[in-house]
Amino acid sequence: MSVLNLRSLAEDDDNYIEGVYNYCNRWCERCPFTARCLNYAIGQEQFPDEESRDLNNEAFWQGLHDVFAQTKALLVQMAQERGVDLEALDTPESRAVWQAREAELEKQIESSPLHSAAEAYRQMVDGWFKESEDDFRAKGDELTMLTRLGVAGLDPEAIAISLADAVEVIRWYQLFIGVKLMRAISGAIDEEDDDPEMLAEFGRDSDGSAKIALIAIDHSIGAWGVLLAAFSDRETETLTILAHLDRLRRATEREFPRARAFVRAGWDTGEAA
């Protein structure tokens, strides 16, 4: 099924929640809305099996090529429906203006303290895991021994699962936080020229992006709490990361004071998954 067909399917099908994928955490394997997400349906259609999701496989790149081609066709069709001539908009002058704007935007993002704090966090996480390899090995041995001993009231398997989950959560959001904060910062700059009434009615993309970044920070803080309790030898380093994340969380809330109240389709509107 092509993207064009999926689009008409989405228009006809109330099952899909419009925009549910706009401010999600992209963690489809853990998402309760897969059956109601058009983005997920398109992904499954284009990349149905392991082979087509493998970056080293030709099927992946062919699938990606198809997605781009179909998205372009969809864009052209939507422009035609609205009487917009895309060719006429694409001139050397308009490209130069766009490039200059992008360069300025990049400069502003890079000078943002949120951006540097998110990048610092990314590096701190890598450092922490690198320096904790022996601790994880020792913890594995300890849990194996406890399983063998069968200590009453202690569930080593549950501890191992909770540790693995904490690591997965931290790794999932490690880059995500910075990416979403960058989008929030660039969105806020773009919105400077937008109609305030329209922004009030439809919400600001910058707030939606900041909200999902904040959620990612919250979940990461929770996951670091699990590691803090499990690895007492790494307490100082873990607390340093937690303090850094907490500062980043508070700085994001200051920069985007409306973000927590932003209403995300599906997630904050009470639709059934």
List of residues contacting ligand SF4 (CB under 6 A): 20-21, 24, 26-28, 31, 33-34, 37, 39-40
Closest CB to ligand SF4 among 7 and 115?
Answer: 7
Instruction: Provide the minimum distance between the beta carbon of 20 and ligand SF4 in the complex, in angstroms, as a whole number.
Output: 5
Q: Which of 65, 69, 10 is nearest to 41 (CA)?
A: 10
CB-wise, 28 or 167, nearer to ligand SF4? Answer: 28
Burial string for 231-241 (b: 16+ CB within 10 Å, else e) reads beebeebbeeb
- Residue 21 or 224: the one with the smaller Cβ distance to ligand SF4 is 21
Distance of closest approach, residue 178 Cβ to ligand SF4, in angstroms: 19
Looking at the Cβ atoms of 26 and 137, the one nearer to ligand SF4 is: 26
Q: Which residue has the tokens 């203006």?
A: 97
- Provide, rounded to whole angstroms, the least separation between the CB of residue 211 and ligand SF4: 14
- Long-range Cβ pairs for the range 27-31 (8 Å, 24+): 27/172
List Cβ neighbours of 172 (8 Å cut-off, separation of 6 or more): 25, 27
Residue 47 identity: F
By beta-carbon proximity to ligand SF4, the closer residue of 37 and 215 is 37
Cβ 160 to ligand SF4 shortest distance, Å:
26
102 Cβ contact list (under 8 Å, min separation 6): none
**Least distance CB 192 / ligand SF4 (angstroms):** 28
Of 190, 175, 183, 198, the closest CA to residue 259 belongs to 183
